[in-house]
Amino acid sequence: MPVRVLESSTPSQVSGANSGQTSFQACTLLGAGQAFSGTQNVSSLQKDEAWRVNVRIQGCDLEHGYLCGTMEALNVPMADTPVVTFWEGEIVDAKNYTFFTGKWEATPDDDIRHWTKFSSFSPLQAQVEADGGKSLDLSNYPHIFMRWKEQYFVNVGTDCGLTIAGFYYVCFSCIDGSISGFYYDPNSSPFQKLELKSTNEGRLGFSFSSYELQ
């Protein structure tokens, strides 16, 4: 199983990007340190199964449409411990990345098929099908669309029997910090769903920390 994508994660750049487009506004619930927990449905024809999943955002660079984090899968049958992976995300902002993936064996049809599974994508669908969503102003939209691609296993070897060949289509709600996603891998069961909620980790409210690289 490939541990990480060996080619560089070249962005699905908008050619002739509109440099005058409004830059993305931050959403405090999608910042470094924020944690989410929920489940990943890994059902196949043979069985129904769901893993508990914890996600933590580790870095967020809105200007470049980039974020990254870790994903911890609990109660994985073939693993003795929770399995942690490091992932990188592309934020669909019509500046750095569009709704069309352009790599990872995902065709435009695959893209539309997945994005339409998010109800919050409906108002945008017509424009995306017409021009790829280039003229959309997503900066004020209360949902953020992303692709998350796991890059490597943090705490297990590549012989753990798991694959990270695919990627997730992700929709984040700025309203309540909930996340839903669909895993895409031509060699895996389709539409395996990821559902996460923002977690307060035992607190009676929301807490935010920060770091800054020099």
Q: Which residues bind another protein (CB under 8 A)?
A: 8, 25-28, 32-33, 56, 58-59, 68, 70, 86, 88, 140, 142, 151-152, 154, 174-176, 200-214
CB of 68 to another protein, least distance (A): 6
Nearer CB in complex with another protein: 16/205: 205
CB of 12 to another protein, least distance (A): 16
Nearer CB in complex with another protein: 130/154: 154
Helix (H) or strand (E) holding 3: none
CB of 78 to another protein, least distance (A): 23
CB of 174 to another protein, least distance (A): 6
Nearer CB in complex with another protein: 187/210: 210
| Of 94, 203, 92, the residue nearest 144 (C-alpha) | 92
Nearer CB in complex with another protein: 130/175: 175
What is the per-residue DSSP string for 120-177?
GGHHHHHHHHHHTTTT---TT-SEEEEEEEEEEESSS-TTSS----SEEEEEEETTT-
